[in-house]
Structure 1
Amino acid sequence: MTDSEHAPSTGEEPRPKRAGHGGRHRRGRRELPGWVFPSAAALALGLLVGVTVGDRSADASAGRAVLPPVVTEEPAARDDPPVAPSLPQAPAAQPVHQTETATALAHVEPVQLDIPSIGVSSPLVSLGLNKDKTLEVPVDFSKPGWFTKGSYPGDPQGPPAIIAGHVDDYTGPAAFARLGELKEGDLIAVVRADSSVAAFRVTGAQRFAKDEFPAQQVYGAVPASELVLITCTGGFDEQARSYTENLVVRARLDLDRSRELSANRAAVGVGAPDSDLPNV
């Protein structure tokens, strides 16, 4: 799948690895629409992304959590459920809140991702870290993955929850092929193990060259409950067999919509894996 080499680390913010991609590439990637917002951060994925995210298992007293670098590489067997390659160190994860608050949801595992505006409706796979502290990538190109050692979608302020996915494979579009089409305000719904829904609204997106990935900006703590989606973008470097950029889409929790969708699912008895969410 991918051949990648690590980019040098600088201080506490290692840069994402340059993702590689063997074989023939189907075609260059589309440009990100003009709604890209400078306040948002972007990550680097090859066919998928290898990302480094705050690890909640890190020593909280240290004040920082280790983030693995972003890299796209051959999917490896997973020991723990993780995402992509390693990134820089990021602020320590905030304490987990087990009950719903005025600004966050209860701590529940996500099982499915629905993005109606771009036709995404897929179970989530678990992503962890590789031995080199880089984020794992989904083995199945059709399914996005949630970084299990980081925040849960709906957690309060702190590092954002991270979901990564491939943009394509050797045969055609993959899970996040249309991620660059998202617009501000679009709905992103994460169905959780208890069948509740964490609904987010897109706030912006940004692209970064893979060798200039601002890990701290992407993975650092934020004052509200946020979700970050990551995939590859930019041109395709035939010599390096890798995409040149990463696309990061950032979204913020919409608590009212979360409660509404959760209530609707509960009323009709919809199971967690079978959501049918409206594009509103």
Structure 2
Amino acid sequence: VAAAAAVACLNRLPVEQTRRALVIAASMASGLVVNFGTMTKPFHAGRAAAAGIEAVQLSKLGLTSAPDVFEHPAGYLHALSPAGRTERSRPAELGRTLRILDSGLSVKRYPVCYSGHRVIDGVIDIAEREDISAGQVREVRVTIGPAQASMLRNHRPETGLEAKFSAQFAIASALVERKVGLAQLTDSFVARADVRVLLEKVVVDITHRPDPLDPAFAYADRVVIELTDGRSFDSGEIRFARGSAKLPLTAAGLRTKFLDCMAIGAVPAYRAPGADVALYERLADLDSLPRLRRLFE
């Protein structure tokens, strides 16, 4: 639906065609948690974007649709509401207040499910501060919210895709490599003996205290690492993940994130030595570029 709204705006559709595009897109939206950890998970986002474009195209061709798809008792909002109710008493604010201006921009520091980012930060912080090696660890106990635990559903991942949705893998990678990046999300890394050993040492506890800023998350996550020599290290409450709007990445952290993505996913033209750094520097100076084409020269 959001994609259809954006594409309709880019196409400068008149009001009636925009309305129809949103209605059509509402019948195309879907996505299932059971597919997290498979190729179908990223297809969710791709299909949603494609559906938005298709909805606009169909609307322009005159495809008819119900005028009240969102508020109708048998419509979109009713179907998605956990309680089966649609809030219609408050005035519509769609397009008047942009949530991103209130919440701020967040950047995913790690290429895995965001549900595990706070505990990854906690593990890396402790490992670096105390100079802990993976072989010293007896147990890692992490505390996260119930929704996050349900999404981090692959407790013993066998592939890089499954590992993206695994708290156990995220902690293992953070201890073994002190990083969780694209280079670690390979079938061969997941199969490493030291990683497999650590998967068995992770215990996940659930906290039901919600975050008032974002009730979908717990108020705070927590990490406790116990070593074989009896020492124990507690992260304390971890309120925000690094990269969130409340705890933004540093310039160096953002650069590292960009170069990590380029190292794995760059098109051939940007795999030449230094090409990724040059592109990053142009992007960082985007406001001063007279023409967008200069980005790719």
TM over 0.5: no
TM tier, smaller? under 0.3
Return the structure number with greater relative CO, CA threshold 8 A, min gap 6.
1
Write 1 or 2 for the structure with the bigger share of strand.
1
Give the TM-score of the pair, scaled to structure 2. 0.23
Give the TM-score of the pair, scaled to structure 1. 0.23
